Chains A and B, each alone.
Chain A
Amino acid sequence: MAILRAEGLKKTYGKGESRVEALRGVDLAVNKGEFVAIVGTSGSGKSTLLHMLGGLDRPTEGKVFIDDKDIFALKDEALTILRRRKIGFVFQSFNLVPVLNVMENIVLPLELDGAKTDKEHIDNIIEMLDLKSQIHKLPTQLSGGQQQRVAIARALAGRPTVILADEPTGNLDSKTSQDVMSLFRVTADKFSQTIVMITHNTEIAQTADRIIRIEDGLIANR
């Protein structure tokens, strides 16, 4: 069953001369527990697609369904709440809140929701991501790889329906990249976590269950 579904997604930026058709009609379905990698050349529309899937931006045309619900039928406020409950984001540039320590960063989305934190679950994640000794540090005191692991922990903390990752290894060296990727793999297997990940690196893409290629705003036929 498709847990995440896109229908006829189109996104156009700008007007007139500077008009860019970033997405030109994308249909996509991701099943529960699936680990999908999206690949494509720079400027092909990968990030744009990911933003639409996560409800960060609204498409010009088309729909996105999460758990069979049309997310763009929601108002901004409700969409934001849906995002923090059902979607975990991981970005190339970690995007940790600099003034909060590691632990606070990880539980931030849960606290914002006023939800009861599942301490066992959080401890499991921290254990798995090997962050135990870092939880009181500030993001600026961590290395890039550590920061990205915190970002992943934060994405996992709320047991999201789907994790969307935009070039999570883009700022990391190849050794660290390998570590992060295997983490994703483990997560997908252990928590049967649905993951959609963008990457430039075809080698890294191999870790995934399925690879989707974007070319010029469209899904390329395999």
Chain B
Amino acid sequence: MKVNSRKALSRLSLRSLLASKKQNIITVFAIILTTVLFTTLFTTFISLRNTLNLQQMKDYGDSSYAIMAVGDEDELESLRGLPGVKDVGVSIELGYTPDKTFVAYCDQTASGFVFSVPSEGHLPSSPDEVVMSRAQLQKIGSDASIGDQVTVDYVVYSSDREVLVSDTFTLSGITSDDSHYILVSEDYARDVISDLSENIGMYLYAHLDFLAGSEFRVYDIAEELGLDPRCVLINPAFESSSDPLGPEGIAAVVVLMLLIFFTGFLIIYNIFQITVANKVRDYGLLKTVGVTSKQIRKIIRKQSAFLCIIGVPIGLIAGYLIGVSMVPVLLRQTVYGAITPVSGFNILVFLGAAAVSVITVLISSSVPGRKASKVSPIDALRYNEAKVSVSKREKVNASIPSMSFANLGRNRMRTFLVVLSISLALVLFDTLCTFIDNFDMNDYIQSHTPSMDFTVSTPSYFAGEHDDYLTLEEVSEISSHIESDHCGIAYMPENFSTYVDGRIDYPAQVVGVENELLSEVDIIEGDISSMYEDGTASVIATANSSLHIGDTVSVTFASDYHYRDPRTGTVYESPNDVPQNLDFYDLEMIPVGGEKEYRVCAITEDYPSSFSPLFIFADKSEQLILNEQQIDDLTDGHYSIMCFCADAVSSEAAAEAEAYLHELAGSSSHFDYTSIETVREDFDQFLGAVKYIGGFLCGIVGIIAVLNFINAILTGIISRKREFALLQAVGMTGRQLRKMLVIEGLFYAAISVLFSLPFALLVNTLFKRIDLFWSPSTAHLTVVPILILLPVLALLGSYIPCVIYGKVRGTSIVDDRRTNE
């Protein structure tokens, strides 16, 4: 009969665990809660990050880590099978359509990377086949289905002239709208290139995906192949600086993690602490039999591990479900409100959350465990004899409230922890209420509403992309539905290709507006009356520019670029003139095109919110406002409608226009608009999310507080059962005993409220400093929410002890006697 100590210890751990069921239920609950919190946090974080990251990739059009421009098939072949390289896709880019969709050949792998795997049909296999998305078909005005003929017009990449190609294909497949590509077959691509060969290099691209951790090798690989590092284009979605959640997001996760760790620790520590305190005698007893300190610690560790085995899996599942349901709510707060979230299901999330929970449990149980291991066997033996020594010290004739109060002081640490966790919930709740209360809708609307009632444009404008524009016919159709006495169009140059004083590095931002809209510009200095004159040279600059009143600026609208060698000063008019031995990257580009001189007549703080370009180049860009005639002259007609702005004549007219625009934006993905109503919706959504998430947090912290409280009361009763029996023996009635416990509960509540008041004020004061969501001048602090919770606390404080006492007393005084003898 060979046995080892592990078995004996396991048996001891398990049996004594099973002997104290009530405490275990609370502990398991606490473990579940902690795990739920961690899992929710991680799942939400990962899922949010994956979703935003995927969206970044979709916006960029590619999901491979890097694209490498390679010279020929051989180089391509040598990329495959390199260590660290997971997948290589190949594409040959031919050119682009007028609306900037690429026309290219992609192999199976590459089509996966560029979100262009056909959802119906197949990739082009013969030269007359093509694959495109529904959205692209719509843009060229076709409703073809698979097998139908489609004509694609596009410009072939060419360095000196625009080679327009128009070909008719058979539609062989349809991709999702995420695709930025129109796919053709390899044979077709090679034919086009060889037909135009003299001016076109072969654009052969390798889309590289790496095994995790090998990404850094990409430049080494390029070097090994003898490629210029500039042939490597890293996907911006993978750059660490473009983490979709940003440093604030990650900081928030870390803070939340610490908070959860702390609350989890608080409650689990507390429970173990109390459990161990109740079993001091048992541990001492084990020591007389020869259980070492180490083995006692092991017993407690085993018990926590066992409770983890029950609690953690439940917590993981529940936390995952909660996390998944929270992602859409959070997503609505980002610019990607409408996208479908990617699941955060990741085995690492589970392992991580489980690990953090288990660590929390082990740390929280290790302190009480150490305490238990230090119990001296003598004390355990004496404990037996000195059964009533605690009560002896107490004056039995003391008043009941003073006895209750004295009880709180017996285990100061426990009392403190309970008070702390109740206070935490109170402070959090108060902060949330103050936040919601002070969050000023008018303030928000004022700062977020454009200066005019309606701004209408395309979704692309509102997303800051500026690659889809309204047409004049569309605007006149829209304006006919808005009864307005003050409206106008704002224009922008095509391709953003405007430069100030020939500076290529900082494209200038230019907006041209109809005269009607000039009055919307808030002038802080100068006079704009000269801008209404015919052929005027006056323009408005924003305060972000380096320009001042009276300055002359020369603006170029580039229709072409020349190349200058800074070392020799030679200017090459066409890329074809550039000698073979020179590298384009070493040359300066010089914009050439219509050039106009203007004089700054006025300065405005910023573009009016109604027609501000939402694409910002760089801090150093000059920002100008021109009138309609000026932008027409400057760009020689190459300008687009940025947006149409209108003020309604009356509130009825506004309501009608709102209804019309709402309908319009809902029915077509080509239109979008902002108005007071849409801002109000945004506001409601934002506030809704604050309430949802804040309420969730408050709820969790509140549950933790109540659990802590129940636990303190429960153990307070269990550990004093013998003492209660004595008190009853000397004449205390059951009613009086219950009264004592209720008063004890009320003391907890009262102390917690008193404790939390100054903290709530402090936190609110700190919050008030942040001029983010409310104006500090009008914000008012309040502790009313805490006071409102007072009766709830009082009710819980008196109800819980009653219930627990009733339950405990019902079963066990006799049992307990017997067990202890």
List A residues at the B interface (Cβ < 8 Å).
47, 51, 56-57, 76-77, 80-81, 83-85, 89, 91, 93, 95, 97-100, 104, 107-114, 116-117, 119, 140, 154
Contact = CB atoms under 8 A, between A and B. Distances in A.
A112 B288 contact: no
Interface of A, secondary structure class, is helix
A57 B287 contact: no
A204 B226 CA distance: 101
Given A97-B285, A99-B15, A119 B290 contact: no
B442 interface: no
Interface residues of B, number: 34
Contacts of B18: 99
Given A57-B378, A119-B1, A140-B818, A77 B293 contact: yes
Contacts of A99: 12, 15-16, 18-19
A108 B16 CA distance: 14
Contacts of B376: 56-57
B384 to A, nearest CB: 5
A64 to B, nearest CB: 15
A113 to B, nearest CB: 7
Nearest to B18: A99
Given A57-B376, A107-B8, A108-B12, 17 more contacts: A56-B378, A56-B381, A80-B292, A80-B293, A83-B288, A83-B290, A84-B289, A89-B288, A93-B821, A95-B381, A97-B289, A107-B3, A113-B5, A113-B290, A116-B1, A116-B3, A119-B1
A76 B819 contact: no
B703 to A, nearest CB: 31
Contact of B288 (A91, A104, A113): A91
B1 A112 contact: no
B470 interface: no
Given A80-B291, A95-B285, A140-B818, A112 B378 contact: no
A80 B1 CA distance: 24
Nearest to A55: B377
A84 to B, nearest CB: 2
A81 B293 CA distance: 10
Interface of B, secondary structure class, is helix
Interface string B374-394: 001110010010000000000
A154 B290 contact: no
B292 A77 contact: yes
Given A93-B384, A140-B818, A111 B8 contact: yes
A117 B293 contact: no
B289 A111 contact: no
Kindly list the 10 A-B residue pairs having the minimum CB-CB distance in the complex, ordered from nearest. A84-B290, A111-B8, A99-B15, A114-B5, A80-B292, A114-B4, A109-B290, A57-B378, A56-B377, A99-B16
Contacts of A84: 289-291
Contacts of A112: 5, 8-9, 289-292, 295
A98 B291 contact: no
B5 A89 contact: no
A81 B290 CA distance: 6
A91 B381 contact: yes
A80 B297 CA distance: 14
Contacts of B290: 80-81, 83-85, 109, 112-113
Nearest to A86: B290
B7 A97 contact: no
B11 interface: yes
A173 to B, nearest CB: 15
30 contacts: A47-B381, A51-B378, A51-B381, A56-B376, A56-B378, A56-B381, A57-B377, A76-B293, A77-B292, A77-B294, A80-B292, A83-B288, A84-B289, A84-B290, A91-B288, A91-B381, A93-B384, A95-B285, A97-B286, A98-B19, A99-B12, A99-B16, A107-B8, A108-B8, A108-B289, A109-B290, A112-B291, A116-B1, A116-B3, A140-B818
B2 interface: yes
Nearest to B290: A84
Interface in B278-332: 282, 285-295
Nearest to B819: A98
Contacts of B381: 47, 51, 56, 91, 95
Given A57-B378, A108-B8, A111-B8, A89 B289 contact: yes
B292 A100 contact: no
Contacts of B295: 112
Nearest to A84: B290
Interface string B791-821: 0000000000000000000000000001101
A111 B292 contact: no
A109 B821 CA distance: 21
Contacts of A83: 288, 290
B819 A140 contact: yes
A116 B12 contact: no
Given A112-B5, A112-B9, A56 B821 contact: no
Contacts of B4: 111, 114
A145 B289 CA distance: 19
B259 to A, nearest CB: 37
A71 to B, nearest CB: 14
A100 B289 CA distance: 13
A111 B7 contact: yes
B9 A117 contact: no
A109 B292 CA distance: 11
Interface in B1-39: 1-5, 7-9, 11-12, 15-16, 18-19
A82 to B, nearest CB: 9
A91 B385 CA distance: 12
Contacts of A56: 288, 376-378, 381
A43 to B, nearest CB: 12
Contacts of B294: 77
A104 B11 contact: yes
A80 B12 contact: no
A97 B299 CA distance: 14
Which has the most chain A C-beta neighbours within 10 Å: B12, B289, B293?
A: B289
A104 B821 CA distance: 19
